[in-house]
Structure 1
Amino acid sequence: MADSDFTDDESEYDSRLTFSISIMERVLAPFRALVSKSALRIYLNTLLFMGAASLLIGISAIAYGVFYLKFIPTVGLQREVHLQFGNGNPWGTAHFDSELVALQPYDVSVTLELPRTPSNIDTGNFMLDLTLFSSRPASLVLPGPANTPISQARRPAILTYASPMVDVARRAARMPLYVVGLHRELEKLEVPMMEQLEFAKGARNLPQSLRLEIQSDLKMQIYTARVEFRARLTGLRWLMYRWKITSLVVFSSLFWFVSMLSASLTWLALTWVWGTTPNNEIKEEPLDLAKDEPDDRISSEESVKKEESESSLLHIYPAEGEAMGSGLESAKARGVQKRRSHTQAD
């Protein structure tokens, strides 16, 4: 009775243990998949992909910035001209570095700040002479053969006329600003000199200096004189300059996409090259195993047939089967004893 109880408890314990193990295997199955070799390979490839994508994003932004600085010219380029007064008309020079580019239309204008003195008002019309040179000589008073002008223009200018009554009323209205120094009695003239000026390719065709001369019959008083080059952007340059953020996103994304596509194709090509195995390195062990399989199958089939025949005999003749089985066992025992005696005699 005690043995049967112990056997029942042991079987119940085994069943519970088996059930617990099966539950643990089901719970741990997803985690085993997460740490498998294929999962680790996927993690590594994902990490490499994200790192390469982040690096290419930075490279794309830097490349677009360099392209923008090289492709988009300086839109508003100003040079202040320090006029020289003495004998003759006032004149002055200015120099350029490399801000101007070829095949780009420019609008050139001269801005003068003039005081409304009686002599300037009495001057009436006066002329502005602007000349662009391809060299940077020390003096551009008289252009010579060494500094051939690239472009030259002469335009008229005049102070705005105001009647005495209007002039007095305007000054009276601005008197507080004049007193505190927030406004000066001057007039700013902006004179267009050249429209859609375009330079040919080549360093010799780009201006390196300019000369401005103010031609008038009477002496004039001038505060400042500036020459401004205003680039007239068209096409892609206008789009990139007008929509800076949008252009940055679009062109950087395009550059990033092309870079990622090239990197992915290169990675797939290298993976395919490294993954191929030469034909002479293929092992022939599977062929040997395939040859051995028929023998194993034959032996297993023979043993199954033998067991089936013995069981059928025992089922038909149980007593004879038992005797036959005991006889076989005794015969086997006698055979074992004979072998042992032969080995001991030897």
Structure 2
Amino acid sequence: MQRIYVTGAAGFIGYHLCAHLLDEGAQVHGFDGMTDYYDVGLKRARLARLLGREGFGFTEAMLEDGARLAADIAAFRPEVIVHLAAQAGVRYSLEAPRSYISANLEGTFNLLEAARDAGVRHLMLASTSSVYGANESMPYRETDKADTPLSLYAATKKATEALSHSWAHLYGLPTTCFRFFTVYGPWGRPDMAPWKFTRAILAGEPIDVYGHGEMYRDFTYVGDLVRGVRLLMAAVPERPARREEIAAGDSLSPVAPWRVVNIGNGEKVALGDFIAAIEAAAGRAAKRNLMGMQKGDVRATWADNALLARLTGYRPETGIAEGMAAFVAWFRDYHSL
């Protein structure tokens, strides 16, 4: 039975990943600080669905408590660590920048040290498509430079990638970083567009449409994403590869057992089409309040997912209409609408 440690277990993605792993019979231990960035009640509701399931354990503590985190990991003895816990959100990084430094940098440092001491077989860290920043060449490839972040959130996630590479090089810690592309689905976050738009449309209220609607995102359904993460667990970068051994398009490091992988649908969806999918699922038309771009935001994201397919044989496949129908149905049920 595989032993897997998941930080951010009560979060949106963490909850779905833990449930998926438990369904497969894995032994899972979750760790989460239960911070109040958004409704803690939603986090408690997710966690309640995991607690009591056979094979699941949980610790409530902060990443910044390095001693507690290290002791927890040492006691569980995981083969794999999936580090999802972070301070998320592009816009919130303008309001509370210090929380990104403490959670994403100090917290990830503590996690890296604990993983090194525990001798885990595979460390997996969540990053974001936001690290591509001002890059204009699309679809984004893992081998593209990501040196122009447009928000503190993106900068801290790029920094965690760099930190993990150095630990992989110095201590031989096999590491995979995965860059998520606009994840959505049931049990999603209230600060994200699917929740905000669905709530407003169902209530007959206007929605704020930034970039005057001329924006594009590579929307990734959460069920597809966790399947990608699960399959990548077996794609362990065992050792550095000589440059001539690295296949074209592979981000495998020549000096460390380290790789970064996009997890996205590989499809650029217009914001208007995304809103139309919510309208269709909700059975109501949206009232659009067109606005300019927000600070730190990017005009478009679009993943090249060829490396994921090469490593796992899998590509995300859920279309926006199907995925948003599932989200809206869950939203109605959760709020008893």
The two structures have a TM-score, normalised by structure 2, of 0.19
Structure having the higher helix fraction is 1
Largest Rg, 1 or 2: 1
The two structures have a TM-score, normalised by structure 1, of 0.18
Which gives a bigger RCO, structure 1 or 2 (Cα 8 Å, sep 6+)?
Answer: 1
